[in-house]
Amino acid sequence: QAGAAAHDPRYDTLLAIAELLEARGHRVLAVPIDRPYQLNEYPRIVAAINRFGYYSPDHERRPDLFIKWFGARAERLEPWRSRFENVPTLVFENGVFKDSVIVDPKGLLGDSFYAASLEGRVQEGFDEGKCRAKLESMRSTSKRPQSPYIDIPEEIRGNYIFVPTQKFLDLSVTKYSSVSMPELLENVAKYCTLSSTPMVVKIHPHLEGIELGQQKAYVAKLQSTYKNIYLSHASITFLTQHALATATLNGGTLVDNFNSQTPVVSFARSLFSNSTALVYDTSVERGLTRLS
């Protein structure tokens, strides 16, 4: 069950799992998160620290299962390495739906245990009626709260390439993509200019401070160099529904395209790269051409 912290359910969810496993007689180890300041936001973590051995890397307590945060840095895990070597490991991260957590026996995105077999798995027991009903129920929903504000001209609706940004240095980009986020923006801008197609950009809604300023400045630079580039704050649902296509790396917004049943091209390895749910390519120009 997703935790009470609606903005980030991972910690409550994982602690609930730890408590359940411990109640069943398993040995559980909790490993520090990379952002200590978040401990203040999640009192249940503080309460469970000693109970799950948080401060005891030298304690001879071998867990039965190790659940590792997707973004955990190797140097943070090193003191605990002897305690989880050869122990079954799961990887977890925020899920692609609101208040959800994804857990994988191998890795996430392009490293997922399910990446190679997803296309076949979704055909097993497929029920078109239930699928359509589910899509209808989710068509106007998204993982994050969305603004009802519409700020792109009516004359370009249905005729633009949409690019939702990810954090420039997010692990999902640096580890899984040969194309950086600035490169994607630049190459789509070039493509749109040559094809006389407007381009609409929506900045990742969780960015703030320096990161937000960097992305705004980069979009402003593109606007000064290329024509018909718009920065939008409209909902992701509206922007995907009214685009010719969405161009992205491997962000969670892929699911918004799936919900709205709109075309999308991805340039970074993801869970869906080997499926027919999207167009996948490592070349921005070639991928956009394939999509058109």
Tell me, what's the pLDDT at 121?
92
Among 107, 101, 104, CA closest to 16: 101
Choice between 292 and 172, residue whose per-residue pLDDT is larger = 172
Tell me, what's the pLDDT at 39?
52
Task: Look at residue 162 and tell me whether its pLDDT is greater than 80.
Answer: yes
Spatial neighbors of 46 by CB under 8 A, at least 6 apart, are 39
The one-character DSSP state at 39 is G
Tell me, what's the pLDDT at 40?
57
Note the pTM of the prediction, 2 decimals.
0.80
Token digits for 269? Answer: 């390895």
Mean pLDDT (whole number) for 226-239 = 93
**Rounded-to-integer distance, Cα 172 and Cα 292, Å:** 26
Mean pLDDT (whole number) for 226-247 = 94
Tell me, what's the pLDDT at 223?
96
Tell me, what's the pLDDT at 99?
73
Tell me, what's the pLDDT at 58?
47
For residue 36, the tally of other CB atoms under 10 A from its CB is 8
Among 17, 287, 76, CA closest to 163: 287
Residue 75 gets the label, from left (phi > 0), alpha (psi -120 to 50) or beta, of alpha
Highest mean pLDDT among 14-23, 45-54, 135-144, 253-262: 253-262
pLDDT band of residue 265 (cuts 50, 70, 90) is: very high
**Rounded-to-integer distance, Cα 65 and Cα 63, Å:** 5
Q: Are 30 and 46 in contact (CB under 8 A)?
A: no
**Rounded-to-integer distance, Cα 119 and Cα 114, Å:** 9
For residue 160, the tally of other CB atoms under 10 A from its CB is 23
Tell me, what's the pLDDT at 26?
78
Token digits for 210? Answer: 């320096």
